């Protein structure tokens, strides 16, 4: 086994192909995803575990920077392919060692392990000589999957497995004459993303602005790792959802719909289209994603989901205790201004 650290373009392409087709993969491991943080002045790198020159595991890291502090963040993983589980320990050991190389004061990992049996997670918790939990909150890490199993279903049988209210709303939306299509052009993608931003603002949650995420979105759609599915009525955009392919399944990332009367129920229709897309590509499930407001959770639960929550999965190392205590002091003072600081970081980066 060989471990290498790289940002080489050829290796990035090989890694993305591996992550899209590896059951333990996640969109958080895609090179474009971690590269998107460079809009804030952060850095990234891949750690690849090779067996006879082929990738059999690894991780993607975000190297976050704030003032004179550095943090080495693994938002998902490390992971290894089936049959190479014995190499996972060496990969985990490499994380704090590599973090020290980058002069980070802190690092953390997120191991996709669950007590719920699912092909896309490790079956058992992995004991580590590290502290549990995450103390750095500014790079998203997954808590698990919100899984809609597609095994042994055809479309009719799957639809019948949903709650009656969801079946009714999907069928009602189908009768309303909505045109469903994939957004492709720069203008279409920006319009779809702006609708999601409007929904985020109305519902008081944060999304990255177009300037910091738009370029990443365009690239991922163009290379086929992401799809932006939209619903139109008489040429007017009524709803859009972003899906990203990794781990041999699609994950719902974000979405937005126009709130109108009568309600066109575009959200129900678009999620059904995402599920049908997953079935067409012979995936064994669809990750509708965890989290959301009470109404959003109720909406997702109506699709007969199973929560595959990670257990004993989040670990961290404090590598420079004095520096990290200083960071915690500053972070407490700056936390209320998180959104404004992110905007300033992005603006300063774009002016370089």
Q: What is the pLDDT of residues 6-42, one digit of tens each?
A: 999 999 999 999 999 999 999 999 999 999 999 889 9
What is the CB neighbour count within 10 angstroms for residue 33? 26
Architecture of the CATH domain 2-143+310-351: 3-Layer(aba) Sandwich (3.40)
What is the CB neighbour count within 10 angstroms for residue 200? 15
pLDDT value of position 350: 47
Which pLDDT tens digit goes with each residue over 36-58? Answer: 999 889 999 999 999 999 999 99
Backbone angles phi, psi at 198, to 5 degrees: -60, -45
Residue 352 has pLDDT above 80, yes or no: no
Q: How confident is the model at residue 323 (pLDDT cuts 50, 70, 90)?
A: very high
Where are the CATH 3.40.630.30 domain residues in the chain? Answer: 2-143+310-351, 147-308
Q: How far apart are CA 94 and CA 47, in angstroms?
A: 9
Residue 348 has pLDDT above 60, yes or no: no
Residues 6+ apart with CB under 8 A from 324: 69, 105, 106, 135, 318
Q: Which pTM value belongs to this model?
A: 0.91
Q: How far apart are CA 281 and CA 263, in angstroms?
A: 30
pLDDT value of position 129: 82
Residue 87 has pLDDT above 50, yes or no: yes
pLDDT value of position 351: 44
Q: How far apart are CA 57 and CA 67, in angstroms?
A: 33
Which pLDDT tens digit goes with each residue over 102-153? Answer: 999 999 999 999 999 999 999 876 778 899 999 998 899 999 999 999 999 9
DSSP assignment string, 277-339:
HHHHTT-SEEE--S---HHHHHHHHTT--EEEE--S-EEEEES-HHHHHHHHHHHHHHGGGHH
| Mean pLDDT estimate for the chain | 92
Closest listed residue to residue 35, CA positions, set 216, 211, 208: 216
**CATH T-level topology, domain 147-308:** Aminopeptidase (3.40.630)
Q: How confident is the model at residue 336 (pLDDT cuts 50, 70, 90)?
A: low
Q: How confident is the model at residue 345 (pLDDT cuts 50, 70, 90)?
A: very low
Which pLDDT tens digit goes with each residue over 197-243? Answer: 998 888 888 888 898 899 999 999 999 999 999 999 999 999 999 99
Which pLDDT tens digit goes with each residue over 252-288? Answer: 999 999 988 889 999 999 999 999 999 999 999 999 9
Residue 245 has pLDDT above 60, yes or no: yes
Residues 6+ apart with CB under 8 A from 319: 96, 99, 100, 104, 105, 106, 107
Q: How far apart are CA 296 and CA 257, in angstroms?
A: 12
């Amino acid at each position: 086994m060989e471990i290498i650290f790289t940002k080489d373009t050829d290796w990035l392409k090989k890694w993305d192909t591996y992550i899209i087709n590896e059951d333990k993969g996640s969109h958080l491991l895609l090179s474009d995803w971690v590269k998107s943080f460079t809009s804030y002045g952060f850095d990234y790198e891949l750690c690849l575990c090779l067996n006879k020159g082929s990738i059999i595991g690894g991780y993607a890291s975000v190297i976050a920077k704030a003032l004179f502090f550095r943090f080495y963040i693994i938002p998902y993983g490390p992971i290894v392919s089936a049959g190479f589980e014995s190499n996972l320990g060496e990969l985990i050991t490499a994380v704090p060692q590599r973090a020290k190389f980058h002069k980070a004061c802190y690092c953390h990992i997120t191991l996709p392990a669950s007590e719920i049996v699912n092909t896309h997670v490790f079956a058992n918790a992995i004991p580590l000589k590290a502290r549990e939990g995450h103390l750095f909150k500014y790079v998203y890490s997954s808590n698990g999957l919100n899984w809609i199993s597609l095994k042994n279903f055809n479309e009719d049988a799957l639809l019948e497995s949903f709650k009656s209210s969801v079946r009714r709303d999907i069928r009602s939306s189908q009768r309303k004459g909505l045109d469903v299509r994939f957004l492709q052009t720069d203008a279409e993608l920006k319009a779809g993303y702006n609708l999601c931003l409007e929904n985020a603002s109305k519902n008081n949650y944060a999304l990255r602005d177009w300037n910091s995420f738009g370029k990443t979105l365009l690239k991922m759609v163009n290379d086929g790792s992401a799809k932006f599915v939209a619903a139109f009525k008489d040429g007017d955009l009524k709803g859009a959802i972003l899906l990203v392919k990794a781990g041999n399944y699609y994950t719902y990332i974000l979405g937005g719909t126009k709130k109108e009367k009568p309600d066109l129920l575009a959200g129900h229709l678009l999620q059904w289209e995402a599920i049908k897309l997953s079935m067409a590509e012979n995936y064994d499930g669809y990750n509708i994603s965890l989290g959301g407001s009470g109404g959003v959770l109720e909406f997702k639960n109506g699709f007969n989901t199973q929560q595959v929550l990670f257990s004993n999965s989040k670990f961290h190392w404090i590598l420079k205790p004095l520096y990290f205590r200083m960071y915690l002091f500053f972070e407490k003072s700056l936390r209320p201004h998180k959104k404004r600081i992110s905007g300033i970081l992005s603006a300063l980066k774009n002016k370089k």
